[in-house]
Structure 1
Amino acid sequence: MFSTIISSLFGAISILGYFFNTLFWLIPILICSFFKLIPIKIWQTFMSYLLDGCATFWISVNSANQNLFSRTQFEATGLEGLSPKDWYLVISNHQSWVDILVLQRVFNHKIPFLKFFLKKELIWVPFLGLAWWALDFPFMHRYSKALLAKKPHLKGKDLENTRKACEKFVFKPVSIMNFVEGTRLTEHKRTRQGAAFQHLLKPKAGGMAFVLGAMGEQLHKLLDVTIHYPEGTPTFWDFVCGKVKKVQVQVKVLSIQDLISNDTFGADYFDDHKQRVKFQRWLTELWERKDRDLQALSEQKSQNV
């Protein structure tokens, strides 16, 4: 009983730490965001680096918070040779909102600040839309099938517009994050899909293909990340209360240019059925290997008990 009260107290203090740290860094980020509106390219590039620096310090303080209150042991492999001066596409399995904290912590200072593709409508969210724009989160221009049926001339325009929006990454290193499963894993979702995997949901190729179609020539390496929680999938509250004793992270580095050059992924992905099948088959095989890795990690835990 006493230990539960103490862990809950630590969790509450930790959440306050996250809140005040976010509030502290949000202020300079919003101030820099307004300055970045000045349409001078060199100035905007300088502000982008400054803003990424703020985001990196935000993650560093969050990590200190985790060390103080959560005391989770992070066991990460495959981080050798990574650089904040390179261009990455990062994909991962997705089980909990804690995954984002884990990814931010593991990759902080090792690769550029993680960014997500966002729907273009989100740019109008008060304050946050401006902050996301200033932090160079790419905004997707996607047209619905219904609209394309009415206006066929718009076909391919969404990818072209997004590609233009990502031109700034030619000179500025970036890490684009994509949860390939599209949603967090639950046993209900896995069963509903027919239990194709023991520890994963089926991968969705569309989102990853859109990123590669828009930025394939700019991105250099694919980081295939596998996150495993030995004690089971945690909630955010579990994490801040220190109930997550260990997190295991495996990182495998693949070449995106090899993926493109051997025709596993092609620019005609969205128009060529055979190309889509080929890429989806490659991604499914990647996910099958990830499922085997997760099974091995689960068996390793059982042997250590």
Structure 2
Amino acid sequence: MLSLLPGPLVLLLSVSLTIIFTALCASLILLVSLLKLLPIPALDRACSHINNGIMRLWLSGNAFVIRLTTRIEWQIEENSQLRRDGWYLIVSNHQSWTDIVVLGHLFRDRLPVPKFFMKHELIYIPLLGLACWGLDMPFMRRYSREFLLRNPHLRGQDIETTRNACEKFRHLPTTVINFVEGTRVTAQKQAQSRSPYRHLMPPKAAGLAFTLAAMGEQFDSLIDVTIRYPDNSKTPFKDFLMGRMKRIQVRIEELPVDEALMGDYFNDKQFKRGFQAWLNQRWQEKDEVLEGWQRAQEPATVAARESARASSGN
């Protein structure tokens, strides 16, 4: 266990190991993905199988680094029965890059290889972006309302990307992960978006609704995940890499994919209102879970401060 070493040294070791694992796996995925360029469906599916195996190897590498460099107390509340040969849709709040590592670590041996909906800008990250392309992860472009008013021909482009991704996901057991807030939460972003929640950004319903419409009957269940870093809320990713992450709180709730959640979000106004209301209610419940965790922590924090003051007084 290297977490007892100085933080900067742990950072150097964890980053170095992560880069080595990532570069190795990404290079292998890229080599395999070159064959996917050939217009042969059977070959494309075979390459996807191989790439998924390499992705699982990468997740195992991350788990090794976590065990080696950190001493995390996992506080998990769970109500789920999962299997590796099914299809699942995960929705989660998004606070940090650490969320991706956490989800991969928790579900790497319990669910099919995860696919993330990613910002289009990430495709330009050297090696990693192209590896994600080789894994069939959909890259989404986010446009402001003002931009779409000036460029109406781009409206609905994300939905077309989702449509194409869902078609590929039909052939292999898949876990689709959607951070429906669309971005990591910060106080500034909350203020700009006029978020009605204390700990969350407003959820974006369109992409999730379309994924359910395209694949809802194929999903075994929807998994609602809530993540919190109670002792490292300001810089969780940096603290994680430096071995300073103390606790991670996670709530995992498995929900049935109700037929009422599958409909025409873009042309059926009644369904759209109902779906938005359902998602907003889920987010309200998630916000209350986060608030409850924070309130439960406050007495312990106060007690620790008082104990430290008493010790310093002696």
After TM superposition, the score normalised by the length of structure 1 is 0.84
Kindly indicate whether the alpha-carbon contact (under 8 Å) linking 2:229 and 2:236 is maintained by their aligned counterparts in 1. no
Cα distance, 1:14–1:140 mapped onto 2, change above 3 Å: closer
- Provide Cα deviations, 1:13-61, integer angstroms capped at 9, x if missing partner: 1111111111121221111111333433333222211111111111111
Structure 1 match to 2:304: none
Indicate the residue corresponding to 1:297 in structure 2.
293
- Look up the SS of the partner of 1:269 in the other structure: coil
Structure 1 residue 278 corresponds to structure 2 residue 274: yes
Deviations 1:80-112 (A, max 9, x none): 411121111111111111111111111112111
d(CA) in 2 for partners of 1:189, 1:126:
28
TM-score, normalized by length of structure 2? 0.81
Q: Is 1:67 the counterpart of 2:67 in the alignment?
A: yes
Q: Tell me the amino acid that sits aligned with residue 244 of structure 1.
A: M
Q: What is the CA RMSD across the aligned residues, in angstroms?
A: 3.1
> 2:13 aligns to what?
13
What percentage of aligned pairs have identical amino acids?
40
The answer (yes or no) to whether the contact 2:70–2:240 under 8 Å persists in 1 is: yes
Aligned to 1:135: 135
Structure 1 contact 225–249 (Cα < 8 Å) conserved: yes
Counterpart of 2:245 in structure 1: which amino acid? Answer: V
Aligned to 1:114: 114
Secondary structure, aligned partner of 2:102:
helix
Change in CA separation of 1:160 and 1:8 when aligned onto 2, cut-off 3 Å: closer
**Inter-partner Cα distance in structure 1 for 2:137 and 2:27:** 18
> Partner residue of 1:241?
242
Task: Sort the Cα spacing of 1:213 and 1:125 in 2 relative to 1 into closer, same or farther, 3 A.
Answer: farther
For the structure 1 residues 157 and 227, does the alpha-carbon distance in structure 2 shift closer, same or farther, using more than 3 Å as the test? Answer: closer
Deviates more, 1:294-303 or 1:116-125: 116-125
The answer on whether the counterparts of 2:36 and 2:43 sit within 8 Å (CA) in structure 1 is yes
1:114 touches 1:176 (CA, 8 Å); kept in 2? yes
1:146-173: CA deviation from partner (whole Å, max 9, x where unpaired)? 59856xxx99797567535532322311
Post-superposition offset of 1:132: 2.6
Which residue of structure 1 aligns with residue 305 of structure 2? none
- Deviation, 1:121, is 8.7
Compared CA separation, residues 155 and 210, structure 1 to 2 (3 A): same
2:35 maps to 35
Q: 2:255 maps to which residue? A: 254
Give unmatched runs, 5+ long, in structure 1: none
Secondary structure of 1:181 counterpart: coil
SS in 2 for 1:91: strand
Q: Could you tell me how far apart the structure 1 residues matched to 2:99 and 2:141 are?
A: 26
Do the aligned residues in 2 keep the contact of 1:89 with 1:175 (CA within 8 Å)? yes
* Distance in structure 1 (CA, Å) of the matches to 2:242 and 2:128: 28
Gap regions ≥5 residues in structure 2: 302-314
**Residue 96 (structure 1) aligns with:** 96
Aligned residues: 295
- Written as runs of structure 1 = structure 2, the 5 A alignment for 1:48-197 is 48-78=48-78, 80-118=80-118, 128=128, 130-138=130-138, 145=148, 159=159, 162-194=162-194, 196-197=196-197
Inter-CA distance 185–236: structure 2 relative to 1 (3 Å threshold): same
Q: Look up the equivalent residue of 2:290 and give its one-letter code.
A: L
Opposite residue 247 of structure 2, the aligned amino acid is K
Cα deviation for residue 125 of structure 1 reads 7.6
Kept after mapping to 2: 8 A contact 1:142/1:159: no
Quick one: structure 1 residues 292 and 62, their matched pair in 2 at CA, closer, same or farther if it must change by over 3 Å?
same
Amino acid at match of 1:98: T
In structure 1, what residue type is equivalent to 2:181?
E
Mapped contact 2:92–2:224 kept (Cα < 8 A): yes
How far apart are residue 174 of structure 1 and its match? 0.9
* 1:163 maps to amino acid: R
